[in-house]
Amino acid sequence: MRRRLATILVGDYVGSTSAMEVDEEASVSRVNACLDAIDQCVKRHDGRVFGTAGDCVLAEFDSPVNALRSAIDARYRVSEVPGVGARDMRFGLHIADVVVVGDDLRGDGVNIAARIEASAEPGAIEVSAALYDQVRRISPCKFDFVGERQLKGISEPMQVYRVAALMDRHGYQVAPTRLEPETSGPFRANSVAVTRLGVAPGADQDQLFLAEGITDDLTLELSRLKSLFVSSRTASTVLTTSDPVEIGKALGVRYVVGGSVRKAGTDVRINIALTETGEGHLIWSDRIRRPFQELLDVMDEITARVAATISGRVEQSELSAARLKRPETMSAYEYYLRGLDHHRLAGVSDDHIHEAMRWFEKSMGLDPNFGRPFAMHVCSWSNLPSFDLSRAESQVAHALDLDATDPEAHRIMGSIKMKSGDFATSRFHHNRAFELAPNDAYMIGRSASFYVFVGEASRALELLDRAEALDPFLPVWIIEERVAALYVLDRFDDMLGVAHALPFQTRRTLIYQIAAHIARGRPDEARALVKQALSLDPGLSTQYICVQETFEDPVIVETLIGRVREAGFPAGPDEVDGRVAVCGA
């Protein structure tokens, strides 16, 4: 008996039986149109439909992420069928070892996917915990934990997650930028990328947070050296190859730092190597075993050795300026890195937000003089309804009192000040973040949003050009600032071209496209995009614009809202009689 691991998607047309009692032929026609739309979505995402039964479709995928994207895409495509809404279909997904019988798949895994679908609410996409664990780091959407559910015919309760709104911000959602790979030299002078450090063989996979944290901090410290060109932290997470020659071509860098980490008892072991990317020759490598308490000393030594090899002699004063302020206890640093690990997944589930905050609080409690967890705690907290802008500002101010050289704390304070309407102080903090990390693509890209909101869209485009030169794999939610900037400049055709080139659409990019189509006199295209936006987030309204689009000039927000409302976009509670009551607070 042949078996294989597969991701199973089951989709079902809700209420087809009662609909056929009213008008059988019309109902059959609608169901067939929906199944055809789903079949196209499955094929588009490299899946295969292996069975249909009346108004139900069964599909398999090699990739759980592709299966999830197919379900999200299908829910929207089904809503385009005349007489059908997004709530007329529901989907269940599960990953399991299944039995192969010819072209058919059978077994417990298929049954579980079907039972998850059957127990879901109309319009919902629900997944098993097994599938959630596979997609949570690279998911295109947010999830709500439904809880344990006793499925019909399944002896053990199953943990189920429901797909919520499309997620706009996630570190692993990346898009190729306008930068063309440098397939032939010369590479940029003094250029380096830190590839994602792995967990050494034999180490507990729970130590992945430590490897990722060290990758981030090593990249940040190198990016603070003005003499180096450092490819960003995002690029290191998305490259699937470990071949230094291929990495050099993809990122346009001359050198690659890579290795692995393992914590064993009170010691930490780091294998580290610097390789040139022209021919893939090893420049140097080292195996370091030191007490965990000396980890930051090790990172300083690696930074100095990399910098000296790449750019020659580096002044000690520059190395000292690049050094992040150290915690007084390494346990606080470890708690901070665990918090960061959950913070990276903050958009996937609120559980990760609470876990991130819990670890940051443990770090803060253990070392009250370590500023970084105070700032990042606020960054995580800002994703929750309980977020208090005034308290958050006080906490980040405290973080800056502890370490005025932390670029991330300045960036967060800049965002807080912008939200409160203090654009002058926000400008100071965004500029300071840029000065402290001049080669950090993330910082530069996030600063672009400030210049969009203060009406300096051309400056925002310049910063995005610089960020894209540093990183050809920026997150979509940084690239989308180009969409906003071009909209503000009334360059609607250019804006639509950038938006269409993105690998997926966020709520924000759809809103700007809707407004651009109205501005260009294309109401049909605008209304179609409204339907798409609402299929991705049924609760979306103009309140989202009021909260997210913090323009200094209120006329820009009013015009934006007026245009999307003309296309049929729902009004939010902040809008009264067609006028914006409060925006950007």
Q: What are the sequence ranges of the domains in the chain?
A: 2-166, 191-315, 325-438
What is the predicted pLDDT for the residue at 22?
Answer: 62
186 cis-preceded (ω within 30 degrees of 0): yes
What is the predicted pLDDT for the residue at 50?
Answer: 92
Element (H, E) at 9: strand 2-13
Average pLDDT over residues 271-275: 91
d(CA 305, CA 560): 51
What is the predicted pLDDT for the residue at 167?
Answer: 55
Average pLDDT over residues 489-513: 90
The two beta strands, 158-166 and 198-199, are: unpaired
The two beta strands, 47-53 and 229-230, are: unpaired
pLDDT tens-digit series, residues 308-352: 888 765 555 555 655 667 888 899 999 999 998 888 877 677 888
506, 166 in Cβ contact below 8 A?
Answer: yes
Neighbour count for residue 418 (Cβ, 10 Å): 23
What is the predicted pLDDT for the residue at 240?
Answer: 64
The CATH architecture that domain 191-315 belongs to is 3-Layer(aba) Sandwich (3.40)
pLDDT tens-digit series, residues 17-67: 666 666 677 878 888 888 898 999 999 899 999 988 778 899 999 999 889
Q: Could you tell me the CA-to-CA distances from 507 to 184, 322, 531, 560 in Å, in that order? A: 38, 37, 12, 14
What is the predicted pLDDT for the residue at 561?
Answer: 96
219, 312 in Cβ contact below 8 A?
Answer: no
Asked if residue 301 has pLDDT above 50, the reply is yes
d(CA 346, CA 580): 30
Asked if residue 421 has pLDDT above 60, the reply is yes
What's the half-sphere exposure (Cβ side, CA atoms, 13 Å) at 6?
A: 27
What is the predicted pLDDT for the residue at 250?
Answer: 80
290, 296 in Cβ contact below 8 A?
Answer: no
d(CA 345, CA 561): 30
Asked if residue 179 has pLDDT above 80, the reply is no
Average pLDDT over residues 191-218: 80
What is the predicted pLDDT for the residue at 478?
Answer: 84
> Residue 220's closest CA among 399, 432, 437?
437
- Classify domain 2-166 at the CATH topology level: Alpha-Beta Plaits (3.30.70)
What predicted TM-score, i.e. pTM, was given to this entire model? Answer: 0.75
d(CA 188, CA 278): 12
> Residue 469's closest CA among 232, 222, 257, 215?
232
DSSP 88: G
Dihedral sign, CA of 95, 100, 103, 109?
Answer: negative
Q: Where are the beta strands (DSSP E) in 231-327?
A: 255-264, 267-276, 282-291
Average per-residue pLDDT in the chain?
84
The more confidently predicted of residues 69 and 21 is 69
Average pLDDT over residues 409-420: 94
Q: Where are the beta strands (DSSP E) in 25-123?
A: 47-53, 56-61, 89-101, 104-106
What is the predicted pLDDT for the residue at 236?
Answer: 56
Query: Are 2-166 and 325-438 the same fold in CATH?
Result: no
pLDDT tens-digit series, residues 208-233: 888 888 888 888 888 888 777 887 66
Average pLDDT over residues 398-415: 94
- Classify domain 325-438 at the CATH topology level: 1.25.40
